[in-house]
Chains A and B, each alone.
Chain A
């Protein structure tokens, strides 16, 4: 019986490939992607000419909200659908660890999200033809977007692990993502001593530094921890939900 590390990796890889192809074999990714592209383009270019500056900051500033809708829409099915359809029963009896399931599904939805971000590079070229575009903020902004997508993927996966109903998973994921995205907007409502803490916890605060071209290691640590944290919550949820009780 092959139980080496490579065999374990192979199971996760098989699962990842199946998950990824299921996004692109069904219309889901294309529909969500088209809506996302339309929304980003209209939000960006409707104000772009008003500012009359050759920069992408307006585009990046919409991402924490738009990705908070896009990523849960992609991730809602990850576990909820398997539970609803009964395929979860087969998956859990195959020789795959829950950790591998979590990592493979997370990676699949993350990569899918990044694929859907690719067409927005066109905006960069469009803007670049209108004048000299500073590469720093654009590169920083996309690095931030990659990290942001990872964090939202992990949150969405966790939301999907809580239920067998995809709509519930979507709404839970959406709300969780938006809480992190908008935490800095509501800082005025928070008692003064707690402001720095809530500011540090907010996605908006960390993400805005990326789109200014500043790659702050604390922000990178923040996004990586947020992602790892929700992956651990998902794993914990799967490990403790083997009792077969409802959900």
Chain B
């Protein structure tokens, strides 16, 4: 459905995309994952014809795609980040205008699509008065209106509250039953919840392209909260465990809140242990705590989100190199 052939994009001196290539077949949800400024939005703007690449060729449905390919644009639905629409227009009027522009039967299709995205109660309000969640629904209605084969959604759930996120994700899943969806996000959980395939973009290049299941991390993270032992002693003990890689002290818990509670409890030593992914070292840690001259183990959690690992691994190595060798 979408093919990038060595697409490069420069903004003046800055290279936003470094000649990336990928091919996305029809159907399913593909996630473009990367930190802010990685090049996701640039890739999407090129994919939808808002921007011309500096190098390379884009193919949509097998045809070469340029910003003048009006016929191909009619087969794409694009929702830019933050869903920018004409604030003083009512959602209804806006969709009527777009339907007219697409040359489809507005009187039939607009009420239909408004029902589809659950916008009935807010269709007759100016878009600027809508909450972020409803504005996002206007955006989804806009992408679905002309029944496109390909949907390109830039950070579709950013800025939404948890309930709205769940609703929008359900909508996207429903849409993907019949269409190809490409969405961008910097949230790992989103990719895990929605995508069959993930393309990790970092600093303008592709770092990983495949299914989430196929990704095997080179280490796994275990978070510990212990008492009755110092950091050095703990390190010495854990070093003896087969499969142990490294240990680091941590001030706060992992970023996805809720995994570890009470992480700042006074008197507890909080550490993160990296281990071999093939070996589960948790029983050994427990035995070490319960054994002779043991320590008190308050918490032990193995990090569930493998996407965190993908990310750390693909991005951290380069960053540490940059930090060391960056400035003279």
Contact A87–B86 (Cβ < 8 Å): yes
B50 CB contact (under 8 Å) in A2, A18, A92: A92
Asked if B103 lies at the interface with its beta carbon under 8 angstroms from chain A, I say: yes
A93 CB contact (under 8 Å) in B68, B73, B89: B73
B interface footprint on A197-221 (CB within 8 Å = 1, 0 otherwise)? 0000000000000000000000000
Binding stretch for chain A, among B94-102, B110-118, B201-209, B285-293: B94-102
With A11-B101, A11-B103, A17-B97 known to touch, is A93 a contact of B71 (CB < 8 Å)?
no
Asked if A188 lies at the interface with its beta carbon under 8 angstroms from chain B, I say: no
Q: For chain B, give the interface size range.
A: 35 or more
B interface footprint on A66-89 (CB within 8 Å = 1, 0 otherwise)? 000000000000000000011101
Query: What CA separation (Å) do A96 and B49 show in the bound complex?
Result: 11
Question: What DSSP secondary structure best describes chain B's contact surface?
Answer: loop
Contact A90–B88 (Cβ < 8 Å): no
With A2-B103, A14-B97 known to touch, is A242 a contact of B70 (CB < 8 Å)?
no
Residues of A within 8 A of B84 (CB): 85-87, 89-90
With A87-B84, A89-B45 known to touch, is A1 a contact of B71 (CB < 8 Å)?
yes
The number of chain A residues with a CB under 8 A from chain B is 31
| A-B contact list, 18 entries, CB within 8 Å | A3-B71, A10-B101, A13-B100, A14-B98, A17-B97, A22-B88, A22-B89, A89-B50, A90-B78, A90-B84, A93-B78, A94-B98, A94-B101, A94-B102, A96-B101, A242-B52, A243-B51, A244-B51
* Extra contacts besides A3-B70, A86-B80, A93-B76 (8): CB < 8 Å: A1-B71, A1-B74, A85-B87, A90-B78, A93-B50, A95-B70, A95-B102, A243-B52
Going nearest first, the 7 A-B pairs with the smallest beta carbon separation are A86-B84, A14-B100, A14-B101, A95-B74, A244-B51, A93-B48, A95-B73
Footprint of B on A, CB under 8 Å? Answer: 1-3, 7-8, 10-11, 13-15, 17-18, 22, 25-26, 85-87, 89-90, 92-98, 242-245
